[in-house]
Amino acid sequence: MITSLSELNPVTVAGILARAALALHNEDNPAAAPAIPEERALREAVIAKARELAGIEPGDESERAREVLGDILDSQRENLIGVTDSRGALLRLATKGDLPSDLYNIDINPNMEQTFGQRFAREKELIEASIRSPDRELHCQPSGNPENPFLVSLFAKRFPHDRLARSFIMLVVANRIGLTLHVHQAWRLYPDVVDLQETSDLIDMLKRFLRVFGVDIEMEGQHGRLILLADSPGGKPIQNLIKVRNPAIRGQRQTTITLSYFWAPANRNQAAFVVGVDQTKYMKMLRSRGG
């Protein structure tokens, strides 16, 4: 292991190495932002050691040098995980919601790329930054309690702008399967559009977003704009059980409704965080913000 990190625990070290590798290619990448005190100094020491190992001059900032250094950092991180036999430990941490978010793999649902089109690259960057360095996060754990759907994680990160109307909070909802976060929902919450006063609860923030952009849905006797947990009797396809209750919206030809939900990993007959969003209305709002 690189000696400058020897006094830190392996999970923290792995996160630092991952962010250092990202910063080599794009220091402004929000996902590369330091997550602990004095991390920048630690990175400098790490990269200096990597340069020494690879025989790369201190002033060499070429693309080739960055690639070699990035490979070294990635290799150190992989070796660290192997040496500490941490996959099992990391899986246990992930199940409990205690795994640092920068150690997850991120899988963004392909439908989101189709929905956002040319905007997707920017949304992807915002999603990754919100997960890697969130301002707030919530990790639901296995409980069987409908008010606490298991293995679903929410992340929120504020993105300020000189113009107040373009400042927003990104809210990301994903489910944890192994060491991967599967992202199906990611929304920008502009304070002048979504009322966020007197709340810091991430599920409440999602509910407030859905008051503006959600549609009423129904599934197996439950209805509303957010169904936290629902059963699929007999294993019927979840998508066939979700019904849009807004007749006016349902009848508009040019309105696109996005239905989203997560499988409960331990029970494919359950769905968590079932929502319906008026995607046409949401995209119109994004265009009006220039974002």
Range of the domain at 72: 3-84
What's the total number of domains in the chain?
A: 2
Q: What are phi and psi of 90, to 5 degrees?
A: -65, -40
Question: Domain for residue 23, yes or no?
Answer: yes
Q: Is 171 exposed, middle or buried (0-12, 13-18, 19+ CB in 10 A)?
A: buried
- Model confidence at 190, pLDDT cuts 50, 70, 90, reads very high
* Whole-number Cα distances in Å, 231 to 84, 185, 243, 252, 269: 39, 20, 14, 29, 6
Identify whether residues 70 and 175 lie together within a single domain: no
What confidence tier does 30 reach under pLDDT thresholds 50, 70, 90? low
106 in a structural domain: yes
Higher-pLDDT residue of 100, 123: 123
Q: Is 60 exceeded by the pLDDT of residue 129? A: yes
How much is the pLDDT for 248?
A: 53
Is the per-residue pLDDT at 203 higher than 90?
yes
Same domain, 74 and 125: no
Same domain, 220 and 109: yes
Higher pLDDT, 167 or 146: 167
pLDDT score, position 204:
94
Q: Is the confidence at residue 134, as pLDDT, over 80?
A: yes
37 token code pair? 């005190």
Q: Which residues contact 258 (CB under 8 A, 6 or more apart)?
A: 111, 115, 276, 277, 279
Say if strands 257-264 and 267-278 run parallel, antiparallel, or are unpaired.
antiparallel
Is 56 a member of any domain? yes
Quote the CA–CA distance of 101 and 135 in Å, as a whole number. 12
Instruction: Return the closest-CA partner of residue 11 out of 83, 115, 61, 106.
Output: 83
Mean pLDDT on 242-263: 73
Mean pLDDT, residues 167-191 taken together: 92
**Dist CA 198 CA 164 (whole Å):** 19
Structure-block tokens of residue 203: 């599920």
pTM: predicted TM-score of the whole model, two decimal places: 0.69
Residues 72 and 199 reside in one and the same domain: no
Bridge partners, residue 271, by sequence = 230, 263
Question: Would you give the DSSP letter of residue 166?
Answer: G
List own/partner pairs for 236-245 with CB under 8 A and 24 or more apart. 238/263, 238/271, 238/274, 242/217, 242/218, 242/274, 242/276, 243/217, 243/218, 243/219, 244/215, 244/216, 244/217, 244/276, 245/215, 245/216, 245/217, 245/218
Per-residue pLDDT tens over the stretch 211-238:
999 999 988 888 899 988 887 776 677 7
Q: What is the DSSP letter of 188?
A: E
Element (H, E) at 213: helix 202-213
Residue-level length of the chain: 291
Surface-to-core class of residue 123, CB atoms within 10 Å of its CB (0-12 exposed, 13-18 middle, 19+ buried): buried
Q: 58, 84, 110: which is the final residue of a domain?
A: 84
Task: List the beta bridge partners of residue 231.
Answer: 270
User: Does residue 49 contact residue 2 with C-beta atoms inside 8 Å?
Assistant: yes
* Last-in-domain residue among 35, 59, 84: 84
Q: What is the pLDDT of residues 49-94, one digit of tens each?
A: 888 888 888 888 888 888 888 888 877 777 765 555 456 766 777 7
pLDDT of 1 higher than 50:
no
Q: Name the DSSP letter for residue 133.
A: S
- Same-domain status, 229 and 269: yes
